[in-house]
C-alpha cells in the first residue's frame, strides 16, 4: 500500500476545501439554520410532536442526512471531474499507484469533508433544539457508511459527467427530491397506506430512518433493513467503481 500517494491525493483534496471554505462548510450550515427557522419554528409551532419527539428535534437527523448526501456527492464528483477536465488525471493514472489507492485518496477526502460537515450541523442544531443520541456508536456508523457510500456514488458521477452541467443533474433532480420525499421532515406513518407503500420504494427512506433510530430509537422501518440497504448500495458502488477502472471508462482515451 502506497501510503504516500494516498496522503498526497488526500491532502490536495482537503486543501481545496480550505480554499472554498464558504462554499464547502459555511453555505450548508447557513442553509441548515434556515431550515430550522422555517420548518422548526414556523411549521413546528403548529405540530405538537411526532411519536413523543418535538418536531424541531425530529427533523435534525433528516437535515443532517440531506446535507450529508448532497455534499458527499458534490465533493467526490467535483474532485475527480476537475482532474479529468484539466487533463491532470493522466498523471495520476500513470503514477505507480493502484486504483485502490486512488479511490482511498479521493473518496476518503470527500467522506471526511462530509462527516465533518455533519458534525458541525449536529452541533449547530443543538443550539436550536434539544438533541439526544441514544446510540452514539450506531449514529457514527450510519454517518460514516453513508458518507463513504455517497462519496463513491459521487465519484461515479464525476467520471460519467462530460460537463459541469451534468455534475448537478443527479444531485439536484434525483437525490435532493428523494431526500425530501424520504421522511426527512415527516414520518412516513403519517402518509395514507397507498403513498406509504410507494415511499418505501425510495432508498433514502431507509437511510433517514436508520439514522433517526440512532438518535431517538424511532424508525419508520426496521433498523436492520436500513443497515442492509446501506451495505447493498455500498457494494453496488464498489462494483461500479471497480468496473470503471477495469475498463478505463472515461478515464483513458
> Mean pLDDT, 10 residues at a time, over the chain (253 residues)?
91 83 77 76 70 85 91 92 89 89 95 92 86 93 96 95 87 88 87 88 93 93 94 96 92 77
The CA distances from residue 100 to 20, 113, 203, 245, in Å, are 27, 20, 27, 9
Q: What is the maximal distance between C-alpha atoms in the chain?
A: 60
What's the gap between Cα 168 and its chain centre? 15
The predicted structure's pLDDT at residue 166: 86
* pLDDT reported for residue 172: 86
Best CA proximity match to 37, nearest among 101, 99, 127: 127
Q: How far apart are CA 44 and CA 53, in angstroms?
A: 11
CA distance 100 to 158: 17
Strand boundaries in the chain, DSSP class E: none
**Helix or strand or coil: residue 50?**
strand
pLDDT at site 42 = 67
Torsion-angle region of residue 186: left (phi > 0), alpha (psi -120 to 50) or beta?
A: beta
Vertex 85: Cα angle to 81 and 90 (nearest 5): 90
pLDDT attached to residue 168: 86
User: How many Å apart are CA 80 and CA 107, to the nearest integer?
Assistant: 9
Q: What is residue 85's DSSP assignment? A: H
Answer for the pair 42, 133: CB distance below 8 angstroms, yes or no. Answer: no
**Cβ proximity of 164 and 77 under 8 Å:** no
Q: Give the integer Cα–Cα distance in Å for 94 and 117.
A: 33
Q: What local confidence, expressed as pLDDT, does residue 87 receive?
A: 86
Question: What pLDDT is recorded for position 206?
Answer: 94
pLDDT value of position 39: 72
Amino acid at each position: 500500500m502506497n501510503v504516500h500517494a494516498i496522503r498526497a491525493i488526500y491532502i490536495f483534496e482537503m486543501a481545496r476545501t480550505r480554499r472554498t471554505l464558504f462554499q464547502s462548510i459555511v453555505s450548508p450550515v447557513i442553509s441548515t439554520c434556515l431550515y430550522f427557522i422555517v420548518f422548526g419554528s414556523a411549521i413546528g409551532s403548529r405540530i405538537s410532536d411526532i411519536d413523543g419527539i418535538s418536531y424541531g428535534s425530529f427533523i435534525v437527523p433528516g437535515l443532517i442526512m440531506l446535507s450529508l448526501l448532497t455534499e458527499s456527492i458534490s465533493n467526490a464528483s467535483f474532485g475527480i471531474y476537475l482532474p479529468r477536465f484539466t487533463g491532470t488525471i493522466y498523471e495520476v493514472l500513470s503514477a505507480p499507484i493502484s486504483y485502490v489507492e486512488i479511490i482511498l485518496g479521493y473518496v476518503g477526502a470527500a467522506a471526511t469533508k462530509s462527516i465533518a460537515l455533519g458534525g458541525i450541523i449536529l452541533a449547530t442544531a443543538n443550539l436550536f433544539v434539544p438533541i439526544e443520541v441514544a446510540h452514539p456508536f450506531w449514529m457514527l456508523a450510519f454517518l460514516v457508511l453513508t458518507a463513504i457510500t455517497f462519496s463513491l456514488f459521487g465519484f461515479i458521477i464525476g467520471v460519467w459527467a462530460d460537463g459541469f452541467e451534468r455534475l448537478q443533474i443527479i444531485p439536484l433532480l434525483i437525490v435532493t427530491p428523494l431526500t425530501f420525499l424520504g421522511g426527512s421532515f415527516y414520518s412516513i406513518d403519517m402518509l395514507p397506506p397507498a403513498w406509504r407503500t410507494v415511499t418505501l420504494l425510495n432508498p433514502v427512506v431507509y437511510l433517514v430512518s436508520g439514522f433517526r433510530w440512532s438518535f431517538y430509537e424511532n424508525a419508520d422501518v426496521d433498523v436492520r433493513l436500513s443497515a442492509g440497504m446501506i451495505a447493498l448500495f455500498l457494494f453496488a458502488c464498489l462494483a461500479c467503481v471497480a468496473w470503471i477502472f477495469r475498463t478505463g471508462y472515461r478515464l483513458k482515451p
